[in-house]
Structure 1
Amino acid sequence: MSAAGLDTQPSAKTYDLEDLISEAWSGGIRVPHFQRDFRWGQQDVIRLFDSIVKGYPVGSLLLWVRRSPAQKIILGALEIDAPSTDAALWVVDGQQRITSLANALHVEGNGYAPFNIFYDLLEKEFVPPPSVSDPRYIPVPVLFDLDKLLDWFAGPGQGVGDYFPEARRIAKLLRQFKVPAYLVKQDDEAVLTDIFDRMNNYGKRLSRAEIFSSLFAGPEAGAKDRLSIGRIAERIAARTGFGTVDDDTVLAAILARRGSDPMREIRIEFDDSRRRSSAEFPGESRDTAYAEGETALVRAIAFLQDSAGVPHLSLLAYRSLLVVLTRFFAHFPDPRDRSLQLLRRVYWRVAVSGPAVFKGSFTQLSRALCARVHPGDERASVQGLIDSIREAAPGMPNPDRFKTNEAGAKIILCSWWDLQPRSPYTGLPYDRQELTDLLADQSTAAAAVRRIFPRGLPLKQQLWSANRIFVPTATDPVDEIINQLSRQPLGLDVDTWEEVLRSYCMSGAAIAALNAGDRDDFLRLRQELVTYRLRAFLQRMAEWDFEDTPALDLLDFEDDDELEGRSDEFV
């Protein structure tokens, strides 16, 4: 706890909401770059307004008073040309509330979700934008401005004039609502980030990534040009088409590159003298760590997509494995082909076994595997990863239970992706870009999965994998896929059509049962084929029965003669 205390005690002040929002609109209130991103949804904004008109307390603000230059600032959806001032108010605590109020009450800000809030004069409640135009629904910026409110009832609201007293009552409650605030005058930014850290570790906790970002945000100057964890996630998604990796996983990957325990204490990450373990990259700056972490993450994702058969984040069995892979590719950016083969085995054996091999903990999984990666020794690292899962037994997920948010279904989906699903309209395989366009930043592949029989099945059969079909495209009319698969199009030859059916784990017999209306027989036949394909896929990927020896050129033999004499052991 090295940060100094406050030079002076915070002073207390109460703002009328009208004055506070006017200050925000004029650029007098600003959000420091160490703050987390805005993350409220529309219902959060509605609840805030509901609390205000009911007179409920909405919490106090903590504002940092400091001299600030003229600059263009972003507050939610608003761009504000803020003048220079000796007493700008920087939000240390209360960003979500101030951003929501300043935008929802502004004519321009109210046009963007989640700030587009209306007041329903009939039901006396705040609501999202109505689906039909009706004067009973007043935009919140109109309520907040008395002149606009009078114009409303003289114009669009003429037909609901009886509700004017209600509108005036709400307008008054909004403008005169009291918002308490503490004002802190302090030049040392480290003290403010320390306060931010402590406040956000009481009650609803910030994520590790949000805390880390605030602690190591750097100076205000140049903040918009520096990498952040969120920006890294966005850049990786755009570059790889893998989807948006969550911030905590990005942070864990950055930490794993720099040390064997990705769950270590983060507050001393760049203080080599205070770390318990020796730094693998001594003296490395935060910006370098971010840039190199991003590079390693991209390599790890390329391995998953090109070697391990995992095309998208939503099909990744466990995100802990992405962290481990990032550490490996950070230290071995161009591994041998044999190392890649063994690394693929590691991924799929862990995916099938789950964290049970590591005492049932995902945290322990990432720690145990990251500790097996030894910088500068590719052979020992690969062998260590393989050795760590010796107790993992061959197996496969249960195809009788398919839920897209569970690891088992993600593994099954990878086996289906491996079959290269084809369009039943053109006979051509869908490509990875189509899957990326469809799933974007989704955390599950639900958008690419359809139920074959949405209704009319017993619960047990509803959960079968055989009752799901993987359609990785947003272009074909997917709701007609099942009907299209039931008959061979005139434009496709027999061989191509067989490849189409094969790509969906369907056989001629299964299609015959489907056309005959025999759901039970269709599902039974397809479930058998799904199980067979899944078992074959995992056997090929995990290679349970193969020798797990490292690449020949990584073995330490005494001389070439001995190498020649032993080479047949690894054929």
Structure 2
Amino acid sequence: MNSNIQDNTLTRRPEARGFRVEQLLQEASDGKLRVPAFQRPLRWKSKSVIDFFDSVRRGFPVGELLLSRDHAKAATVSFGPVAIESKEQPSALWVVDGQQRVTALVATLLRKEETPRGDFWSIWFDLHSQEFMFLQKREAPPTWIPLNVLSDSVRQLKWIRNWSFSETRDDLVDRALELGKSIREYEIPAYIVEGASESVLRMIFTRVNTGGVDMRESEIFEALYGDEGDKPIRSAVARLCDLGFGQLDEDLFLRCLRVTCGLSRRETIDASTDLPPDSISRTETAFRRAINCITLSAGIPHWKLLPYRLPLIALTAFYDTFPNDDPRIDRLAAKWIWRGALTGDHEDVTDARVNRLVKQMRESKNPYDAVISLLSHFNNNDLLALQKNDPLREIDEKISLNRASGKIFVLGMLANCPNRQTGPIQSSLFDDVEDETTGEESATLDTKRFYRSLTDEGNLGSDCVIRISGMEKREFMSSDEQTLSSFLLNRECIEHLSNDEIEDFRNTRRSILERYLQRFVADRLGDRVDVRPSITSIKAVQ
């Protein structure tokens, strides 16, 4: 072997392990976490830091760290505004790849100020809106919590005790505790190399940062567990297309598999882990039941119109635990889906939240107890007041399917069963909706394929109707009252359109939509739920 190649080769395989955020913070506090001189300057601004923490909170993958274990001299180690006096370390961890992420964690969570503000790492979390915020100069609103108090549970509890809402807002206190736990316990995968020279580390750093596109988690899974080129997840997702729910994201299926089979993210990308032999088929079966509930009972025909992903993940685990086919259970689950969508409660899809829901369901004696435990989270008296995603707001706004309220608005129009004058639509309204969404790109949807505007002045909610393939604007002009009513229109609307009286059209359509959507929302929320078990289930128990 060429001597130059020998000099630039690792003598042992890298160690693969995971670090919880609290472990990384402890390593940094102890002076064991170091940054080599060849690292590039910090590039992340406040938005990147906020997106990173939002991904951690939601349980999204944030990439691996690459660390080198080696000797380090005593030094002052800086992570943004945080300076740590570090003693000599015989076995320090040098950050070869992941400097921006490590700095975001240390600079945000280990800073000492009571009111961090003014730099990229002055990140807070609004417990009311559940959004990460950057504080520059002003005073923080009372519902904001600084992320640096989340670095350890004792510090967080002290902050909560002195907080103005500690005695009056149990919901916000619970949300704060959940946030701290989800961040501290989030695990970041890492590779650790030992005995590498600086030239080897520079070579690794260059190749990692210029070597191409990162693999998705599902691609890693299939590379590890696929048999001779088989793609088990891709095949399962392809089979699920026969339900007409659209081409689902493969990483979403993998997350459902993890939840259903009780596996951590590390276990599904660790070649040494023995997966349950039926993990794919088991998840696919439960996934199929969850989709049927969402489409048939909740009336959500396509996954791009699902306001939040939480129901799909949680219900896959639910139907894996309770596989019996009971329409009443499906109706109760649909009520839970809609209450979570309209109130915004299902926006939180962190691993901690999902694991808590699944544990709650699996501790139940039967499916009725399980689904009622989900519904008990909502106070019937507060439902109408807590509508974060009221579709009425979309009437005078440009519709966006990147907002839950926009999806709910479209679902409301669909629920009125729009049909052409020639007769009911025989095939799916979405037969020609293309499914080309993969990974993060799926956040940008081709919304024109779900609805169309009847005016030339934008996509305000009041302008739009459900899009039916081949049905042009001129067909509405000659439609009968029954057809117009199915599209939430009337003859007065059409006359205003014909005369190009756009504002008059919008005013008339607004009144129609307001009356209809109020009834739609009230029906989806429901003022009471029938929790009595069915006769079939009683007989099954006996």
Are residue 549 (structure 1) and residue 531 (structure 2) matched? yes
Q: 1:270 to 1:552 in 2, by over 3 A?
A: farther
Partner of 2:238: 234
Deviates more, 1:372-381 or 1:413-422: 372-381
Aligned ranges 1:439-450 → 2 under 5 Å: 439-441=434-436, 444=445, 445-450=447-452
Q: 1:535 to 1:296 in 2, by over 3 A?
A: same
Q: 1:501 to 1:231 in 2, by over 3 A?
A: same
User: 2: distance between equivalents of 1:433 and 1:234?
Assistant: 18
* Contact 1:321–1:366, Cα closer than 8 Å, also in 2: no
Superposition RMSD on alpha carbons, in Å?
3.6
User: 2: distance between equivalents of 1:511 and 1:466?
Assistant: 13
* Contact 1:346–1:385, Cα closer than 8 Å, also in 2: yes
Structure 1 counterpart of 2:276, one-letter code: E
User: 1: distance between equivalents of 2:335 and 2:210?
Assistant: 40
Structure 1 counterpart of 2:221, one-letter code: F
Are residue 500 (structure 1) and residue 483 (structure 2) matched? yes
Partner of 2:328: 338
Are residue 529 (structure 1) and residue 512 (structure 2) matched? yes
Are residue 471 (structure 1) and residue 467 (structure 2) matched? yes
Q: CA deviation at 1:437?
A: 2.8
Q: Deviations over 1:204-242 (max 9, x none)?
A: 65433233333x325xxx424x452222222212x1121
SS at match of 1:372: helix
Q: CA deviation at 1:539?
A: 2.2
Partner of 2:419: 422
Are residue 433 (structure 1) and residue 393 (structure 2) matched? no
* Contact 2:383–2:525, Cα closer than 8 Å, also in 1: no
User: 2: distance between equivalents of 1:326 and 1:253?
Assistant: 7
Aligned ranges 1:85-164 → 2 under 5 Å: none
- Calculate the TM-score normalised by the size of structure 2: 0.53
- Calculate the TM-score normalised by the size of structure 1: 0.50
User: 1: distance between equivalents of 2:352 and 2:253?
Assistant: 18
Are residue 388 (structure 1) and residue 377 (structure 2) matched? yes
User: 1: distance between equivalents of 2:247 and 2:522?
Assistant: 30
* Contact 2:453–2:459, Cα closer than 8 Å, also in 1: no
Q: 1:10 to 1:213 in 2, by over 3 A?
A: farther
Partner of 2:218: 209
SS at match of 1:546: coil
User: 2: distance between equivalents of 1:536 and 1:416?
Assistant: 12
Partner of 1:118: none
Are residue 513 (structure 1) and residue 502 (structure 2) matched? no
* Contact 2:222–2:231, Cα closer than 8 Å, also in 1: no
Q: Deviations over 1:349-379 (max 9, x none)?
A: 1111224x77x55555534433332176212
* Contact 1:312–1:436, Cα closer than 8 Å, also in 2: no
Partner of 1:284: 276
SS at match of 2:342: helix
User: 2: distance between equivalents of 1:384 and 1:309?
Assistant: 22
Partner of 1:563: none
Structure 2 counterpart of 1:538, one-letter code: V
Are residue 366 (structure 1) and residue 366 (structure 2) matched? no
Q: Deviations over 1:18-71 (max 9, x none)?
A: xxxxxxxxxxxxxxxxxxxxxxxxxxxxxxxxxxxxxxxxxxxxxxxxxxxxxx
* Contact 1:344–1:542, Cα closer than 8 Å, also in 2: no
Aligned ranges 1:176-325 → 2 under 5 Å: 205-214=214-223, 216-218=224-226, 222-224=227-229, 226-237=230-241, 239-259=242-262, 266-267=268-269, 271=273, 284-285=276-277, 288-325=278-315
In percent, how many aligned pairs have the same letter?
23
SS at match of 1:318: coil
Q: Deviations over 1:73-131 (max 9, x none)?
A: xxxxxxxxxxxxxxxxxxxxxxxxxxxxxxxxxxxxxxxxxxxxxxxxxxxxxxxxxxx
Q: Deviations over 1:402-426 (max 9, x none)?
A: 11232111111111221222124x2
User: 1: distance between equivalents of 2:518 and 2:272?
Assistant: 46
Q: 1:353 to 1:515 in 2, by over 3 A?
A: same
SS at match of 1:252: helix
SS at match of 2:401: coil
SS at match of 2:268: coil
Q: Highest Rg: 1 or 2?
A: 1
Partner of 1:412: 409
Q: Deviations over 1:159-178 (max 9, x none)?
A: xxxxxxxxxxxxxxxxxxxx
* Contact 1:263–1:367, Cα closer than 8 Å, also in 2: no
User: 2: distance between equivalents of 1:307 and 1:504?
Assistant: 22
User: 2: distance between equivalents of 1:548 and 1:410?
Assistant: 27
* Contact 1:253–1:323, Cα closer than 8 Å, also in 2: yes
Structure 1 counterpart of 2:467, one-letter code: V
Partner of 1:71: none
User: 1: distance between equivalents of 2:503 and 2:349?
Assistant: 39
Structure 1 counterpart of 2:495, one-letter code: A
Q: 1:229 to 1:555 in 2, by over 3 A?
A: closer
Q: 1:365 to 1:352 in 2, by over 3 A?
A: farther
Q: CA deviation at 1:552?
A: 5.4
Deviates more, 1:299-308 or 1:397-406: 397-406
Q: Deviations over 1:311-344 (max 9, x none)?
A: 1112111122211121112222224332212101
* Contact 2:413–2:465, Cα closer than 8 Å, also in 1: no
Q: 1:210 to 1:11 in 2, by over 3 A?
A: same
Q: 1:247 to 1:351 in 2, by over 3 A?
A: same
SS at match of 1:450: strand
Alignment counterpart, residue 378 of structure 1, candidates 364, 367, 373:
367
Q: 1:367 to 1:413 in 2, by over 3 A?
A: farther
Q: CA deviation at 1:486?
A: 1.6
SS at match of 1:485: helix
Q: Deviations over 1:263-306 (max 9, x none)?
A: 6753469848xxxxxxxxxx722xx1011111211111111111
* Contact 1:421–1:471, Cα closer than 8 Å, also in 2: no
Partner of 2:40: none
Q: CA deviation at 1:485?
A: 0.8
SS at match of 1:422: coil
Q: CA deviation at 1:535?
A: 2.4
Q: 1:258 to 1:547 in 2, by over 3 A?
A: same
Aligned ranges 1:40-59 → 2 under 5 Å: none
SS at match of 2:500: coil
Q: CA deviation at 1:309?
A: 0.5
Q: 1:290 to 1:421 in 2, by over 3 A?
A: same
Are residue 329 (structure 1) and residue 319 (structure 2) matched? yes
User: 2: distance between equivalents of 1:264 and 1:384?
Assistant: 30
